[in-house]
Amino acid sequence: MRIPLRSEEVAVTLLLIGIFAWVLLAVFVCSLGRAAKAGDRLERERVPGWVDLGLGR
């Protein structure tokens, strides 16, 4: 069974799916960055004699 769709409906649906995918990707990348920062901070506090090399983190 084939569902008749207009090309405008398909275009809008694909656009919405694409926007949703980019938002999910952005949230995932931001959460990874925050987790890495928190882990780096914990490691720096745990390790005595930590030398901060100033590599932008």
Domain positions in the chain are 9-43
Residues 6 or more apart whose CB falls under 8 angstroms from that of 50 comprise: 43, 44
Could you tell me the two tokens for 5? 């769709």
Identify the pLDDT of residue 6: 83
What pLDDT, on the 0 to 100 scale, is given for residue 49?
A: 60
pLDDT in tens, the chain (57 residues): 566 778 888 899 999 999 999 999 999 888 887 777 776 666 666 666 666 666 655
* pTM assigned to the model: 0.52
| CA–CA gap between residue 36 and residue 43 (Å, rounded) | 10
E runs forming strands in the chain: none
Query: Residue 25 is which amino acid?
Result: L
Please give the pLDDT value at position 34.
Answer: 77
Q: Centre a 10 Å sphere on the Cβ of residue 24 and count the other Cβ atoms it contains.
A: 10
